[in-house]
Structure formats: C-alpha cells, structure tokens
Amino acid sequence: MKVYIVGAGPGDPDLITVKGLKILQEADVVIYADSLVSEELVNRSKPEAEVLKSAGMTLEEMVDIMEARVREGKMVARVHTGDPSMYGAILEQMVLLKKRGIKFEIIPGVSSVFASAAALQAELTVPDLTQTVILTRAEGRTPVPEREKLKDLASHHCTVALYLSATLVKKVVQSFYDAGWEPDTPVGVVYRASWPDQKIIRTTLENLEQDLRDNGIRSQAMILAGHALDPRLVDSEDFRSKLYDPTFTHQFRKGV
C-alpha cells in the first residue's frame, strides 16, 4: 500500500482526472485541504472511508496518520488543489514519507492556470506573439529568490501567470512597468476558476488594481498577463500556426 498524492483540479469536481477519481473512490483514507477542494468531490470517496481535513494539522501529524494507515494496509489519498506540483508543499511530505520508508505516487491535476486560461478562452502561446509562459508568484511573506524577481522574468514580455498574488498587485504592476510593459497591456484575472461563483475580469495593467478592488478579489485568483490575453485576438486572423497552415509541410501533411 502507498500514499497517492492526487491533484483534485481547480474546483469543478468533474475536472479531476479519471485516474485521480478512481483512486479517490478506492481510498480507505482521504486527506484534503478543506478550503480549496470541493466537498462534492470528497463525497465521491467510499462511504466507509476515513475523511480528514488537513487545515488544522501540522506536517508531522499528517505524515504520522499516513504512515500509520499505510502500515495497517490501507490506501491513502492525499488530495491537493489544482496540480500538486505547483505551490502544493508536497516536497516536505515526500521527504518525510521517504525517510519513513512509505511509498508514494503522484497523480497530476488540472492546475488553476489552465482552468483560468480556459475561462478566459485564451491561448497562452500565440504564434509570432509569445511561445513561453512563466508560472510564478509575487513576493509576499514567502520570499522569491533574488534571480527570479518579477521585473527580470517580465523582461521576456511573454505570458506571465501569477499564483498567490491577488493581494500584491501594486507590487506586481510596478514590476511589469519596471520591465518596460505598457500600461495598456492586457491582463485577465479569474477568481475561483471553474467554481459556481467564478468571476472573470478582463483588464489592463493600469486598471488591474482598481478592478480587483472593485470586485473585492483578494484571494483564490489567477492573474494572467501579456499580449496573449488580448481579447481582440479572437477577431484577428494574423496569428495562424504553421501546424494548420495550408502551405506548410510537416510529418502528417504535405503543403501546397
């Protein structure tokens, strides 16, 4: 038996992977972050499963439970919001589990960055505009390494996705300006992407702070910035990929 570290997806219970759902339905023990994983999803675990909320536990308490249950021959699902690899604090769990000789497996999930791109109906990598997405966060109480300062990352003028940053927009906007971004650069913000109370805000760098304040958004929001978020792109024919270009030859099709 082992511990499954499962990505629950961004909120909508149908956005867990098929594999993740199967594990959740089979697990004897389910541990989840109550504020961010939907109850409806957790309720899909089997009726006799032991369901525990992680919010009140310390890391050691949580790993003690995981270890004890696995040693009893039980299957444990540790359910994380979005994809576990993004700001999931799973490394510290894996370090302790490994030290104690408990096996684990990670099942990926739909990160909020992708649920937010879907809500905004955006392609984050638009041909001839940008081919790169930077996933990062603003520096708050948790420090960001010096060589990853937002100003430096933003100097690439690619798409930038900001987790955990809704209360730090003043700093965020300044960093983009310091990197030479124009005040009218498009920004999309999605609050609680894929939840019933999802909110979508299309704005610009200069209006970002005001628009978040007007909408009372201080947490659970994904900020996506860059020209790929321009809502006018969907009405333009300038950004065709080579893949479906009639004149372009590739492995599966001969160009004309």
Query: Where do contacts with ligand SAH occur on this chain (CB under 6 A)?
Result: 10-11, 80-83, 86-88, 111-112, 115-116, 163-164, 190, 192-195, 220-222
d(CA 12, CA 192) in angstroms, rounded, equals 10
Q: What is the largest CA-CA distance in the chain?
A: 65
d(CA 191, CA 200) in angstroms, rounded, equals 6
d(CA 66, CA 2) in angstroms, rounded, equals 9
Cβ closest to ligand SAH, residue 90 vs residue 154: 90
- Identify any residues that bridge with 53 across adjacent strands, giving them in sequence order: 32
Cβ closest to ligand SAH, residue 85 vs residue 204: 85
Smallest distance, ligand SAH to C-beta of residue 53, A: 17
Q: How large is the angle between the packed helices 90-99 and 59-71, nearest 10 degrees? A: 50
The dihedral sign for the CA sequence 118, 220, 199, 35:
positive
Cβ closest to ligand SAH, residue 175 vs residue 194: 194
Smallest distance, ligand SAH to C-beta of residue 73, A: 30
Cβ closest to ligand SAH, residue 70 vs residue 190: 190
Smallest distance, ligand SAH to C-beta of residue 128, A: 28
Cβ closest to ligand SAH, residue 140 vs residue 255: 140
Smallest distance, ligand SAH to C-beta of residue 13, A: 12
Smallest distance, ligand SAH to C-beta of residue 48, A: 28
Smallest distance, ligand SAH to C-beta of residue 90, A: 9
Strands across the sheet containing 29-32:
50-53, 29-32, 76-80, 3-7, 104-107
Cβ closest to ligand SAH, residue 111 vs residue 185: 111
| CB 76 within 8 Å of CB 103 | no
Measuring CA to CA, which residue among 151, 86, 159 is closest to residue 120? 159
d(CA 105, CA 161) in angstroms, rounded, equals 27
